[in-house]
A and B are shown apart, each in its own frame.
Chain A
């Protein structure tokens, strides 16, 4: 990730924080919004060191959401590595690929995070329902982002502005 992406990432984490606030539907907290960044890094292949930056993202996740700092870094970097490997064998870059990568990323993050918590003796909150919902919602979120990118809304907006100004 470039430094210019730090602010959007922080914003993503803040939005993630707001999704867990009281009054917001509980299922929204099960969406892992920052997953879209490691999916984008894998599919767009614009970053070379994103496994380590995914680690930083995971540490930031831990700082904001977890009782201990560390397992998130492991989980997110593991997911980054998995997506890195997956992007090497999957040529599809369509919204479906975004959704699929999001699914894999979210599944990896939750599983590895839980595995990293096991040696610490901390109680696990992993359940099949939570895992499935989180994976599905995150996949949907990533697919949505992929679809938006395909639609190229900024370009269309610029075209619209250009036509209107003529």
Chain B
């Protein structure tokens, strides 16, 4: 006779069922079946775990949402930082321009009466032109001199409200009467159409060396005298009766921020109001 091995799992399951049946019959002091207490004891951790998982899921979802908001905020903040950085650069530029203007005014006390400060908004060195703007609407007569801390810049060729256009000293048609600081050598600085200048009409016997600084003489009736205009960079003798002189503007036209416009200067007035 074969004796089959009883299925252990089924037997254990039966035992559990029997124990549960017995627990159903036993009452707790509160009167509830003990089985209910057991079920609660089993279900409670599961429910607690499910609740915690729910909270975790909710927190993760909230965290994800918040993360998206943080990312958006971060982008906004980055844009704000960039905007503030740009504004800071502008403010730095404004501050530097203001310092330039202050320095310019202090350095040109003789012409500052009635002078108008303007800010460079555009310049085309190849074309020899510059656009400047004033803070308020002002009419500037044609040929109003424009100077900067470095020296002569040019003259006004057009004025319209707060916008004013200058002809730079390097313009091919620009010219200014100059002399050395001791007044012994006189000439005419003319633009060459690029960023250099030429000094014309300097006699061959003139004592002029490389590195000499030329000031405006006021002889042209446009620019006031005593403004540094050019530095001699090349002197060459030719068969002509005049020296061939190359010069460079003393004003740094590439980085000029602020110019001082002298609308009230008059050659006849000698620096007084018209």
Interchain CB contact (< 8 A) of B18 among A49, A74, A88: A74
| Min C-beta distance of A145 to chain B, whole Å | 21
The yes or no answer to A84 lying at the interface (CB within 8 A) is yes
B 1-40 contacts with A by CB, 8 A: 1-4, 6, 11, 14-15, 18-23, 25-26, 34, 38
Please indicate the chain B residues that have their CB under 8 angstroms from the CB of A49 in the complex.
6
A 113-134 contacts with B by CB, 8 A: 116, 119-122
- Among A4-12, A65-73, A146-154, the stretch in contact with B: A65-73
Tell which of A45, A116, A120 has the most Cβ of chain B within 10 Å.
A120
Q: Is the CB of B4 within 8 A of A69?
A: no
The yes or no answer to A51 lying at the interface (CB within 8 A) is yes
Q: Is the CB of A120 within 8 A of B18?
A: no
Interchain CB contact (< 8 A) of A81 among B6, B21, B25, B26: B6
Interface size of A in residues (CB-CB distance below 8 Å) = 25
Besides the contacts A74-B19, A121-B26, what 11 more A-B pairs have beta carbons closer than 8 Å? A48-B4, A51-B6, A52-B14, A68-B25, A68-B26, A70-B18, A73-B15, A74-B15, A77-B11, A88-B3, A120-B26
Q: Is the CB of B22 within 8 A of A120?
A: yes
Interface of A is mostly: helix
Which B residue sits closest to A71, measured CB to CB?
A: B22
The yes or no answer to A55 lying at the interface (CB within 8 A) is yes
Interchain CB contact (< 8 A) of B14 among A77, A84, A88, A119: A77
Interface string of A80-92 (1 = CB under 8 A from B): 0100100010000
Q: Is the CB of B22 within 8 A of A69?
A: yes
Q: Is the CB of B15 within 8 A of A77?
A: yes
Please indicate the chain A residues that have their CB under 8 angstroms from the CB of B14 in the complex.
52, 55, 73, 77
| Min C-beta distance of B256 to chain A, whole Å | 97
| Min C-beta distance of A161 to chain B, whole Å | 31
Please indicate the chain B residues that have their CB under 8 angstroms from the CB of A71 in the complex.
18-19, 22
**What would be 8 A-B contacts, judged by CB atoms less than 8 Å apart?**
A48-B2, A48-B4, A68-B22, A70-B18, A70-B23, A77-B11, A81-B11, A116-B22
Chain B residues packing against A (C-beta within 8 Å) = 1-4, 6, 11, 14-15, 18-23, 25-26, 34, 38
A70 in contact with B4 given A51-B11, A77-B11 (CB within 8 Å): no
Interchain CB contact (< 8 A) of A45 among B1, B15, B18, B26: B1
Q: Is the CB of A69 within 8 A of B21?
A: yes
| Min C-beta distance of A166 to chain B, whole Å | 37
Q: How far, in whole Å, are A46 and B18 apart by their CA atoms in the complex?
A: 26
Q: Is the CB of A120 within 8 A of B23?
A: yes
Please indicate the chain A residues that have their CB under 8 angstroms from the CB of B6 in the complex.
49, 51-52, 81, 84
Please indicate the chain A residues that have their CB under 8 angstroms from the CB of B25 in the complex.
67-70
Please indicate the chain B residues that have their CB under 8 angstroms from the CB of A77 in the complex.
11, 14-15
Q: Is the CB of A119 within 8 A of B19?
A: yes
Interchain CB contact (< 8 A) of B22 among A70, A81, A84: A70
Please indicate the chain B residues that have their CB under 8 angstroms from the CB of A52 in the complex.
6, 11, 14
Please indicate the chain A residues that have their CB under 8 angstroms from the CB of B19 in the complex.
70-71, 74, 116, 119-120
Interchain CB contact (< 8 A) of A119 among B1, B2, B4, B23: B23
| Min C-beta distance of A125 to chain B, whole Å | 15
Please indicate the chain A residues that have their CB under 8 angstroms from the CB of B11 in the complex.
51-52, 77, 81
Q: How far, in whole Å, are A120 and B22 apart by their CA atoms in the complex?
A: 8
Q: How far, in whole Å, are A10 and B4 apart by their CA atoms in the complex?
A: 27
Q: How far, in whole Å, are A58 and B27 apart by their CA atoms in the complex?
A: 22
Which B residue sits closest to A47, measured CB to CB?
A: B3
Tell which of B14, B15, B18, B23 has the most Cβ of chain A within 10 Å.
B18
Which B residue sits closest to A84, measured CB to CB?
A: B6
Which A residue sits closest to B18, measured CB to CB?
A: A70
| Min C-beta distance of A115 to chain B, whole Å | 10
